[in-house]
Every structure is written in structure tokens, then in C-alpha cells.
Amino acid sequence: MQTTFETFPSNTQFSIELCDYPELPETQRERAEARYARTLERQLGDAQSVCALYTLMEQLQEASPEDIPPNAPALYQRWLKAVQAATEAGMQGLGEAETAYFSIRLQ
């Protein structure tokens, strides 16, 4: 299952999916995905900011060194901090699952 989040008026959308967490009831999975998305948005500003920074992180993975902007390290640290906070919030109360992770997909 994947939970889609949308903000208006920009219609910027992304979906969150909790992956590799065995035998988790659907309602708990949806709540975890919602907590993750809310925290990510709170850390980065809004859904549009989440999408923009996610896109930038994807582009930086494939960029040549001369194409990397000077502010990339700061943006990368901001992204890591937001993802860590969102993961902690999303996993809250679920217990240990070593292989579980949240997947972000832009729509």
C-alpha cells in the first residue's frame, strides 16, 4: 500500500510507502506513512519543497562534479536530517524491523 499526499493549489504530489515491514496491519501502515509524510513536510516546509529537494537529491547522484552547486552539501545535510526525523516519526510505536524502509515517489 502506498499513501499519496497532495497540497493545494500547486498540486505537488508525492507518495510514501513503508516497505519490507512484514505482517503489519493496513491501518498501522497507513498511519506510519502519514506520520512520515507529515514530518518530512514539517522539516522541509511543504509538499512542494519535499518534491523539489527530492528531485535535486536524485539529480545530484548522477551529476558530474562541475555541475554540483556550491550549496549542495548544505542541502544534502538538510535532506538527511529531514529523512531521519521522518523515519523516526514513521516507525514510532511499530517495533523493530531491520529491513523496513520508507520509499518516496513523486507523482
The whole domain housing 73 covers: 3-106
pLDDT of residue 62: 87
pLDDT of residue 11: 58
CB atoms within 10 A of CB 78: 15
Distances (CA, A) of 27 to 44, 69, 72, 81, 93: 26, 41, 37, 27, 13
What are 63's three cell numbers? Answer: 551529476
pLDDT of residue 9: 39
pTM for this one? 0.85
pLDDT of residue 91: 94
Q: Kindly write down the DSSP assignment for every residue of 35-95, as one continuous string.
A: HHHHHHHHHHSSHHHHHHHHHHHHHHHH--GGGS-TTHHHHHHHHHHHHHHHHHHHHTTT-
pLDDT of residue 67: 83
The domain total for the chain is 1
| Per-residue pLDDT tens over the stretch 56-93 | 999 888 888 888 888 989 999 999 999 999 999 999 98
pLDDT of residue 107: 83
| Per-residue pLDDT tens over the stretch 6-54 | 433 355 689 999 999 988 999 999 999 999 999 999 999 999 999 999 9
Q: HEC string of 18-50? A: EECCCCCCHHHHHHHHHHHHHHHHHHHCCHHHH
Residue type (1 letter), 73: P
